[in-house]
Amino acid sequence: MMNYTFYADLGLTLDKPTNLNYRFSLPNKVFDYMHAETPILATSILEVKNIVEKHKIGVVIQNFSSKNLAEMINEIFENENLLLEMKKNCKKAKLLENWKNEEVVLNQIYNFDGK
């Protein structure tokens, strides 16, 4: 999958908050896109929105419809500077959002340091 993601110009995560599971989800593909330096177009699922906006690695659409989705994709591709900026931000974000850093947090939470 990462081989394809690496060559994509834009990653889509289009989940809708139809239930609690989706409302608070954070799909792996968000991190796959980030680590492949692929900008993201996402619906406003809470945790996805937080990551995308925190690192400025994509665009979050508020109104999900096929028409709005098509318009936003076209807007993104028409703005080469925005695409390049989001790719640069993905490069920075992947240095922070990775398992090496998360391992430290998990060790602190679960006290895995052997003490």
Report how far residue 41's alpha carbon sits from residue 104's, in angstroms, rounded to the nearest whole number.
30
* pTM greater than 0.95 (yes/no): no
Whether 115 is in a domain gets the answer no
CATH code for the domain in which residue 33 is found: 3.40.50.2000
25-to-41, 49, 72, 94, 113 alpha-carbon distances in Å: 16, 11, 23, 19, 29
Q: Which residues of 51-86 are buried (b: 16+ CB within 10 A; e: fewer)?
A: bbeebbbbbbbeeeeeeebeebbeebeeeeebeeeb
Q: What is the mean pLDDT of each run of 10 residues along the chain (115 residues)?
A: 86 93 93 96 96 98 92 97 97 93 85 63
43 near 13, Cβ under 8 Å?
yes
Whether 12 is in a domain gets the answer yes
Whether 7 is in a domain gets the answer yes
Count of structural domains within the chain: 1
Whether 8 is in a domain gets the answer yes
| Domain span including residue 35 | 2-110
